[in-house]
Amino acid sequence: MVRIAKERMDILKEEAHRAAINGDMELSHRCTTLHHRIAMRYNLRKDRESRIRTCRSCGGFLMPGNTASVRIRRGLPATRCNRCGRRHVFGRAEYQDGRNRPGKGTRHHNRENVNTEAPQ
């Protein structure tokens, strides 16, 4: 039963993408809604691509340039849903501790051979 549910989820994911390319936003939204409902019913995890491509607020399909706009904020892609306006930032877990975040002084402040003597 779980195998069939995963197959249906894959088919719905592809159909949502195909419908968004063709401009049928209602069909793509319906496919993502069904995808989510199947995952909830059979207690299945969505793959990373499905989580990124689905709006957490309205459940719409996020396709950059078509149903979503993408901007770079502090080195991370921020996707805004054109349907409800919610902004999603993905990739924060890798930089949660604040270190090694792009744009936070990682280039010059972590050098080992820093000359502390004053120039003569």
64 is a domain residue: yes
C-beta separation of 26 from 60 below 8 A: no
**Assessment of whether the complete model's pTM goes beyond 0.75:** no
Q: Is residue 112 included in any domain, yes or no?
A: no
Contact 33, 26 (CB under 8 A): no
Residue of 100 and 27 predicted with greater confidence: 27
What confidence tier does 36 reach under pLDDT thresholds 50, 70, 90? Answer: very high
Count the domains in the chain.
1
Judge whether 110 lies within some domain. Answer: no
Is residue 118 assigned to a domain? no
Is residue 32 within 8 Å of 22, Cβ to Cβ? no
| Structural domain boundaries, residue 46 | 2-95
- Strand order from edge to edge, sheet including 76-81: 68-73, 76-81, 87-89
Residue 106 has pLDDT above 80, yes or no: no
Predicted pLDDT of residue 88: 87
* Assigned domain for 88 exists: yes
